Homo-oligomer: A and B are copies of this chain.
Amino acid sequence: MNDTISLLMNHRSIRKYADAPVTKEQVETIVAAGQMASSSSNVQAYTVIAVTDPEQKDKLKELCGQQTYIAECPVFLVWCGDLSRLKHAAERHLPEKQSYEQTTENFIVATVDAALAAQNAAVAAESLGLGIVYIGGIRNRSQEVSELLGLPELVYPVFGMCLGYPDQNPGQRPRLPQEAVLHWEHYRPQQGEAAVEQYDEVMAEYLRERTGGAKDTPWSVLMAEKLVHPSRAHMKSFLRDKGFLKE
């Protein structure tokens, strides 16, 4: 195992930060590494907004479900899918033609481009000794986040990411056994099911240890509970209003 793979294998989400600044240069280095990730046909259909202003971070904390680490981290990144650059290019060069920014395909392109860049940035940040945590809560109140950050049409917040020097050393959460997520030659549902049963025991034990016996819900029960509660049900109409996913 080389140093890079060790770094990847050692990832854990960090939600408590030391009182040490993250510099503008560090953010630029981290985002530069993000930019080098692959992009579908070089469209680079994402924008990241780096928020350091305490008032702005505090408002974002409110909008993301009161996760205090958003206000506490020195830099909060908001990763956005962004088709507005492409749309402007089409309006400028081919104004007479219909353009197709609103397709599901282009929504996938923008979302994946943002995610690939963000994960490269996360790896770069961790290589510099920083810790990160992804914030899906940025989608809790998408419209208000959009207004706060001034996101125009065809730009949407996919997830946030806190950046800061770690002031905690949390244990690592076990992942699904590899047989669940890696299949050879074709999809093998039974292999996945057996792996989930195994994982249920591992995760129950992990929770039991972490909570001094107070919790031991198997993973598949947590997943069932998650799936029967509608989450962020506004996303479809929000995204359509932003110009995405119309076809």
Binding site for B on A (CB under 8 A): 1-5, 7-11, 13, 27-29, 31-33, 35-38, 40-44, 46-53, 56, 80, 84-90, 92-94, 97-101, 103-106, 108-109, 111-112, 115-120, 122-124, 127-128, 132-134, 136, 139, 148-152, 155, 158-159, 173, 175-176, 178, 180-187, 189, 192-193, 196, 219-233, 235-236, 239, 245, 247
Bound complex: CA A52 to CA B184 (Å) = 8
Main SS at interface, chain A:
helix
Q: Which of B8, B51, B86 contacts A227 (CB 8 A)?
A: B86
Q: Is the CB of B100 within 8 A of A49?
A: no
Q: Find the B residue at minimum CB distance from A97.
A: B228
Q: Is the CB of A192 within 8 A of B100?
A: no
Bound complex: CA A200 to CA B123 (Å) = 29
Bound complex: CA A27 to CA B36 (Å) = 23
Chain B residues, Cβ within 8 Å of A175: 35-36, 44
On whether A187 and B49 interact (CB within 8 A), knowing A40-B136, A111-B111, A159-B112, the answer reads yes
On whether A228 and B100 interact (CB within 8 A), knowing A85-B223, A182-B27, A182-B28, the answer reads yes
Q: Find the B residue at minimum CB distance from A246.
A: B236
Bound complex: CA A2 to CA B33 (Å) = 12
Bound complex: CA A105 to CA B106 (Å) = 16
Q: Find the B residue at minimum CB distance from A129.
A: B2
Chain B residues, Cβ within 8 Å of A8: 33, 36-37, 120, 123-124
Chain B residues, Cβ within 8 Å of A49: 183-187
Q: Is the CB of A178 within 8 A of B36?
A: no
